[in-house]
Chain A
Amino acid sequence: MRKLAIIGIGLIKWGELWEKSIRQIAAEAISKCLEDAGTDRIDAMTIGNMSGGLFNGQEHLSSLIPDHLGRKNIPAMRIESACASGGMAVRTACLEVASGFSDYAIAVGVEKMTDISGNEATYALATAADQDYEAFHGVTFPGLYAMMAKAHMDRYGTTRDQLSSVVIKNHYNGSLNPNAQFPFKITSDQVLKSPMVSDPLRLLDCSPITDGAAAVLITTLEEAKKLKKQPVFISGIGHASDSIALSSRKDILKLEAVELSTDKALKMAGKSIRDIDFAEVHDCFSIAEIMILEALGVVAPGEGGKASSDGLTGLNGNFPVNPSGGLKSKGHPVGATGVAQICEAVTQLRGEAGERQLKNIRTGLTQNMGGSAGSSVVHILEVI
C-alpha cells in the first residue's frame, strides 16, 4: 500500500446559499482545493453526498459535477453512507491512491439542503434511519439522539448543563471560524430558552440544516513532496458499521461503529488514543459529542458529560475537540461534513487556523458517522 498525503483543501463559506445550486457549490470547493494544492491534476473523483435525490431531485452527481467543473471525462463516483458520506468519500479516494489505481484523487463532499421545506428535509434525513421500522413510525434524528440522551442521563446522571457545555464550546470555536454558518457565541441561557425539539434536546442542541461543500486532494507521499504546500500524512483509516435501527442494539449507549472504526484507524497508524492531540468529531447533537468522547476511549463510559463541562475539550483543554466549531456552529451539510473535518484537521496541522489555532499539535483524528452511528469512519492525520 502506498503512503498517502493531503496536498490541498477547499472549503466555501457555509450557510443558506439561496442563489447557488448543488453543482455550483461543489465546483467552487473543488476549485479552491486545486488552487490550494497548486495543481490541476485529478485522476479520480469521489463525491460524498447523502441525498441529492431527496434534497434536490438530482441523482447522478458523478456526471453532473465533473461536467459543471469543465472536467467532464474524469472518472467520478458518488459515495453514500448517510451523514458519513463525506468521510467515506475521503476513504474511497485514499483507496484509489493507495492501491496505485490513481495518483491524484479528489474527494468532494456536498449537500444542498435548503431547496426543500424543513419538514421535507426532516423526512429526507430520517431516511438514514431504518425506513420500515423507525422512520415509518414517525421518529426523527433529533428523536433518536434524544432517546440516547435520555438513556445517558438515566444511567450516568449526565446533566442539562453538561449537554450545554458542548454547545457553548463549539459555538465559541465557531465564532473564530470565518467559514462557519453560525459564527457566534451562545450562552447557557440561550440554550435553555431555545425551543424543545425532542426532549431533552432543544433547538440549540441540534446541528443545523446547511448548504455546503468541501474538497480534499489526495496523492502519494512522494508526489506530495513535488508540490508547494506542506503535505499532511494520512496514517490511519478505520471504518465500521453497526445495526441501522437503534432499537436493535443491546446497549444504545455503546457506539460500536465508532469504537471499531477508531480502533482500526489507531492500529493502522500504530498509535493509541493518548497519542492524538485533537479531534474533529461528529457532533450532530450535543449528546453525540459526549458519547463519541467515550467511544474514542478519551474518557470512560459515562464520563463524557463531566469531561465536557470540565473543559477537557476546549481550545486550551488537554484534548481539544471540534476546534472548527463542529457540526453545531460550522453547519452540517451532511455529505460535506466528513470532508470538511479533514479540511479543519489539515488547517490546524499546517498551523493556518488563525485565532482558533491549537498549540503544539502533531496528530489529529477525524470521526464522521452516519445515522444513529450505523456507520462511522475515522482518519488519523499527522504532520510530516
Chain B
Amino acid sequence: MQVPRYWREIPKRYRLEAAQCKKCLNISFPEKFSCPECGSRDFKTIKLSGKGKISTHTIIRIAPEGFNDQVPYGMGIIEMDEGPRIMAQITDCDPEKLKTGDRMIYQFRRIREDGSTGVIMYAYKFVPDVGI
C-alpha cells in the first residue's frame, strides 16, 4: 500500500512546487530541510515553469517492477530554466533521437499503477517541446 507515500508528494509531483530560499534565492526541487547553498531554513513555495533542457539521458530497456509495459522509455535529468535539475521520464518521443540540450516541457502523466486494483500514480514527465 503505497498511498500515503504517493499522496504526500502530490504538490511537487503534480504542480512542480519547489522551495526558493528567501536568503540566497537558490531553488531546491524537491524542497530540502535547509538550503544546500546557504543553510537558511526560510523558504517560499514557488511553481516551476516546467520548461528546461536535457542535461543527460538514457533509455531504460530493462525496467523495474511496474514499468515493464513501457520499455523502452527515455529517462533523463532535465535542467529547469529556473535552475533545479529533475530526474524524470521523457515520453511521447523516439528515445533514440533525444540529444543533450534538447528543449523539454512538463506534461502531467501516469507513472504507474499499483497493480490492477490499486491506486494509479500520476506525476510530471517531460516531452520534447515541439509546440503541441
| A–B: direct contact at CB < 8 Å | yes
Q: Which residue numbers of A lie inside 8 Å of B, CB to CB?
A: 118-120, 122-123, 126, 130-140, 142-143, 146-148, 150-151, 154, 195-201, 245-248, 252
Q: Is the CB of A248 within 8 A of B60?
A: no
Instruction: Name the B residues within 8 Å of A247 (CB-CB).
Output: 77, 85-87
Instruction: Name the A residues within 8 Å of B108 (CB-CB).
Output: none
Determine the distance from Cα of A138 to Cα of B95 in the docked complex, in whole angstroms: 15
Known: A132-B5, A147-B56, A151-B56. Contact between A137 and B88, CB under 8 A? Answer: yes
Within 8 A of A (CB), among B64-93: 64-68, 70, 73, 75-77, 85-89
Q: Is the CB of B61 within 8 A of A147?
A: no
Q: Is the CB of A248 within 8 A of B85?
A: yes
Q: Is the CB of B64 within 8 A of A136?
A: no
Instruction: Name the B residues within 8 Å of A133 (CB-CB).
Output: 30, 86-87
Q: Is the CB of A123 within 8 A of B65?
A: yes
Q: Is the CB of B75 within 8 A of A122?
A: no
Known: A132-B30, A136-B111. Contact between A197 and B56, CB under 8 A? Answer: no
What's the dominant secondary structure at chain A's contact region?
A: helix
Minimal beta-carbon separation of A133 from chain B (angstroms): 6
Determine the distance from Cα of A137 to Cα of B58 in the docked complex, in whole angstroms: 13
Instruction: Name the B residues within 8 Å of A198 (CB-CB).
Output: 58-62, 75
Inter-chain pairs besides A137-B125, A247-B85, 9 sampled, C-beta below 8 Å: A138-B60, A138-B66, A138-B70, A138-B73, A142-B62, A147-B57, A147-B75, A154-B100, A197-B61
Q: Is the CB of B61 within 8 A of A196?
A: yes
Determine the distance from Cα of A120 to Cα of B66 in the docked complex, in whole angstroms: 10
**Closest chain B residue to A138 by CB distance?**
B67
Pick the contact of B112 from A131, A138, A246 — CB < 8 Å?
A: A138
**Closest chain B residue to A126 by CB distance?**
B64
Which residue of A138, A197, A200 has the most chain B CB atoms within 10 A of its CB atom?
A138
Q: Is the CB of B77 within 8 A of A138?
A: no
Minimal beta-carbon separation of B108 from chain A (angstroms): 14
Instruction: Name the B residues within 8 Å of A138 (CB-CB).
Output: 60, 63-64, 66-67, 70, 73, 75, 89, 111-112
Q: Is the CB of A246 within 8 A of B63?
A: no
Determine the distance from Cα of A136 to Cα of B85 in the docked complex, in whole angstroms: 16
Determine the distance from Cα of A132 to Cα of B58 in the docked complex, in whole angstroms: 19
Known: A139-B60, A140-B63, A198-B62. Contact between A150 and B85, CB under 8 A? Answer: no
**Closest chain A residue to B78 by CB distance?**
A247
Determine the distance from Cα of A201 to Cα of B62 in the docked complex, in whole angstroms: 11
Determine the distance from Cα of A249 to Cα of B88 in the docked complex, in whole angstroms: 15
Q: Is the CB of A139 within 8 A of B87?
A: yes
Instruction: Name the A residues within 8 Å of B77 (CB-CB).
Output: 147, 246-247, 252
Q: Is the CB of A143 within 8 A of B58?
A: yes
Q: Which 10 A-B pairs have the closest CB atoms?
A: A146-B58, A123-B64, A138-B67, A151-B56, A247-B87, A247-B85, A123-B65, A147-B56, A122-B64, A199-B59
Known: A122-B65, A247-B86. Contact between A150 and B57, CB under 8 A? Answer: yes
Q: Is the CB of B65 within 8 A of A120?
A: yes
> Is B123 in the interface zone, CB < 8 Å from A?
yes
Determine the distance from Cα of A301 to Cα of B61 in the docked complex, in whole angstroms: 29
Contacts A/B (CB < 8 Å), 19 sampled: A119-B64, A120-B65, A122-B62, A122-B63, A134-B87, A136-B121, A137-B87, A138-B63, A138-B111, A143-B58, A146-B58, A147-B56, A147-B57, A150-B58, A151-B55, A198-B61, A199-B59, A246-B87, A247-B87
Instruction: Name the A residues within 8 Å of B66 (CB-CB).
Output: 123, 138
Determine the distance from Cα of A139 to Cα of B59 in the docked complex, in whole angstroms: 10
Instruction: Name the A residues within 8 Å of B89 (CB-CB).
Output: 137-138
Instruction: Name the B residues within 8 Å of A120 (CB-CB).
Output: 65
Instruction: Name the A residues within 8 Å of B87 (CB-CB).
Output: 130, 133-134, 137, 139, 245-247
Determine the distance from Cα of A138 to Cα of B111 in the docked complex, in whole angstroms: 8
Q: Is the CB of B123 within 8 A of A137?
A: yes
Determine the distance from Cα of A199 to Cα of B59 in the docked complex, in whole angstroms: 5
Q: Is the CB of B88 within 8 A of A135?
A: no
Known: A133-B87, A247-B85. Contact between A147 and B63, CB under 8 A? Answer: no
Minimal beta-carbon separation of A195 from chain B (angstroms): 8
Determine the distance from Cα of A197 to Cα of B60 in the docked complex, in whole angstroms: 7
Minimal beta-carbon separation of A176 from chain B (angstroms): 30
> Is B42 in the interface zone, CB < 8 Å from A?
no
Minimal beta-carbon separation of A142 from chain B (angstroms): 7
